Amino acid sequence: MAEPEFREPTTEVRYKVVPDDQLPAGRATRVVPGPGFVEARIRRGHASELVCEQLSCVSRHIFSNGLWVYDGAECANATGVRDARTPVEVRFEIHPADAFPKDIVCLFREQPGEFIWYVRELHLSEQACGEFNEYLKTSLQDGFWVQRWEEGEAGGVITPAANPSPGR
């Protein structure tokens, strides 16, 4: 299922648990445009409200500080060649609860060419994780997401180590 193309610059990604009637049958997620934001809808039972809140909070910081941009007009070109600043890989991964600090259900790690969301088990289903990863892979190939650390406040963002250690 092809996701919609977004025509406006995006300044926020909102994650939201929604009832069944807001998603196609058989799907756990759907990404839809809004004015200046993207809404990542997740079927009830496939994500916790807490993970949606934490993902939205971090995403809001990333976009408001200019660290990322999603703008089909700016990022994609007529030849379909990806912008040089587009990461090679962006993905979600589900990890055991003991890999996270108390009360934290998601962390991210960013380095040149890569952005990984670590999500505490039981807060995102395997199906939703897979669908988000499929969407992100396609969006990256289309050249819509651009990493702009050199232009944003990258120095103020702290990311966890590659493998978050228990009790942190």
Residue 69 corresponds to which tokens in the numbers above?
């941009």
| CA–CA gap between residue 42 and residue 91 (Å, rounded) | 16
84-100 per-position pLDDT tens digit: 555 568 899 999 999 99
Instruction: Give how far Cα 94 sits from Cα of 43, 91, 150, 157, Å.
Output: 17, 10, 29, 22
Note down pLDDT in tens along the chain; length 168 residues.
444 444 455 668 899 999 999 999 999 999 998 887 889 999 999 999 999 999 999 888 877 776 666 655 444 443 444 455 555 688 999 999 999 999 999 999 987 778 899 999 999 999 999 999 999 888 877 766 666 666 544 443 333 333 444 343
| CA–CA gap between residue 101 and residue 63 (Å, rounded) | 24
Q: Structure pTM?
A: 0.76
User: Which of 162, 137, 158 lies closest to 62 in space, CA to CA?
Assistant: 158
